[in-house]
């Protein structure tokens, strides 16, 4: 994306045009880590929001888990156990091994963290911009939804991908892993090796892409629609009211998307990690 160029152009005119409004809301608070910038740039907003949310939700669950009792559970523990049971059931149905040592806790982390990050979409976009510009001036940028940053979703998907390969090698051995690259799914005859390898290659490339882009696309599109609805406020009172009503509707519908995407992301994580454990 050519945000940097757009940013510069926006600095110059600073007029409140529809494209400028959307541009501003979709710009990251990008801080270069050295002079060359480029790859060495950190989206401070994405990072701060995601880490804060991660600490918040996992910290909450930890506080409950620390005092967890086998007796009558408190309300907080009952709620956490509900989520625990939900995640554990899903993992149990997909993965048939010792899920408690790694996969189930990972699924819980993914579900809660992604859910919390997705939920930032409920914050009214202009309130976030308003608060940020109050503290940081009109040029300050802050994107509140970490999962609408491709870096976040790709980081998660790539981590899962690395874990996938790690488990595949750990379970089948390096030889078994390479053997499967060439001998599955069409068989071990030498003339189907290229087809098998191509098939596996496409699978290994498409998994992290579809995994990450599904979440990113949903959250990004959701944000853009909020921004488009917010634009209506520029047309006057009628537009403001219409935008507010539609925005409320979209928010309500978005509750479903937020939960569903978090769930799908978790399920795919579990499925990919479970598949890595299976031999063909």
Partner 1 sequence: MNINFTLIAQAIAFAVLIWFTVKFVWPPLLKAIEARQKEIADGLAAAADGRSALEVAAKKSEVTLTEAKQKASEIIAQAEKRGTQIIEEAKGNAKVEGDRIIAGAKAEIDQEVNRAKEGLRAQVSTLAIAGAEKILRKEIDAKAHSELLAKLAAEL
Name which of 106 and 261 has its Cβ closer to partner 1.
106
**Within positions 86 to 105, which residues make up the interface with partner 1, using CB under 8 A?**
100-102, 104-105
Nearer to partner 1, 14 or 100 (CB): 100
Candidates 156, 219, 229, 266; binder of partner 1 (CB under 8 A) is: 156
- Residue 210: active-site member: yes
Q: Of 107 and 258, which CB lies nearer to partner 1 in the complex structure?
A: 107
CA-based angle 164:276:89, to the nearest 5?
95
218 is catalytic: yes
When binding is defined by CB under 8 A, the residue of 6, 9, 22, 68 that contacts partner 1 is: 68
Exactly one of 133, 200, 214, 251 is catalytic; which is it? 214
Q: Cα separations (Å) of 101 from 59, 168, 268, 278?
A: 20, 16, 19, 17
Catalytic residue among 119, 218, 251, 279: 218
CB of residue 120 to partner 1, shortest distance in Å: 15
Of residues 7 through 46, those in contact with partner 1 by CB under 8 A are 30, 33, 38-43, 46
Tell me if 161 sits within 8 A of 208, measured CB to CB: yes
Least separation in angstroms between CB 177 and partner 1: 22
Q: Which residues pair with 41 in a beta bridge?
A: 32
Whose CA is closest to 212, among 257, 161, 153?
A: 153
Q: How far is CA 278 from CA 66, 107, 184, 272, in A?
A: 34, 18, 12, 10
CA separation, residue 247 to residues 150, 159, 164, 254 (Å):
24, 34, 39, 10
If binding is defined by CB under 8 A, does position 71 make contact with partner 1?
yes
Residue 207 makes CB contacts below 8 A (sequence gap 6+) with 157, 161, 164, 272
Phi, psi of 166 (to 5 degrees): -60, -45
Q: Active-site residues: which are they?
A: 210, 214, 218
Binding site for partner 1 (CB under 8 A): 1, 3, 30, 33, 38-43, 46-47, 50-51, 54, 58, 61-62, 64-66, 68-71, 73, 77, 80-81, 84-85, 100-102, 104-106, 108-109, 113, 146, 149-152, 154-156, 158-159
């Amino acid at each position: 994306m050519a945000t940097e160029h757009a940013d510069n152009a926006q600095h110059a005119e600073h007029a409140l045009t529809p494209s400028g409004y959307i541009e501003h809301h979709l710009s990251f608070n990008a801080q270069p880590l050295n002079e060359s910038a480029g790859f060495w740039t950190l989206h401070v907003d994405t990072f701060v929001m995601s880490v804060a949310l991660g600490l918040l939700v996992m910290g909450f669950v930890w506080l409950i888990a620390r005092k967890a009792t086998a007796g009558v559970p408190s309300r907080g523990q009952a709620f956490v156990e509900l989520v625990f049971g939900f995640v554990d059931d899903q993992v149990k149905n997909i993965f048939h091994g010792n899920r408690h040592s790694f996969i189930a806790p990972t699924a819980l982390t993914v579900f809660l963290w992604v859910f919390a990050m997705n939920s930032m979409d409920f914050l009214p976009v202009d309130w976030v911009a308003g608060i940020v510009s109050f503290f940081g001036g009109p040029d300050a940028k802050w994107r509140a939804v970490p999962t609408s940053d491709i870096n976040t979703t790709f980081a998660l998907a790539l981590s899962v991908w690395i874990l996938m390969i790690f488990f595949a090698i750990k379970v089948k051995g390096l030889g078994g892993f390479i053997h499967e690259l060439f001998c599955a799914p069409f068989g071990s005859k030498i003339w189907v090796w290229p087809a098998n390898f191509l098939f596996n290659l496409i699978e290994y490339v498409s998994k992290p892409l579809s995994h990450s882009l599904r979440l990113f696309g949903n959250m990004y599109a959701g944000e853009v629609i909020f921004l488009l609805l917010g634009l209506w406020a520029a047309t006057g009172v009628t537009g403001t009211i219409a935008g507010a009503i539609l925005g409320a509707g979209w928010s309500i519908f978005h509750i479903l998307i937020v939960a569903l995407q978090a769930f799908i992301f978790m399920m795919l994580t579990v499925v990919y990690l479970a598949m890595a454990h299976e031999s063909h």
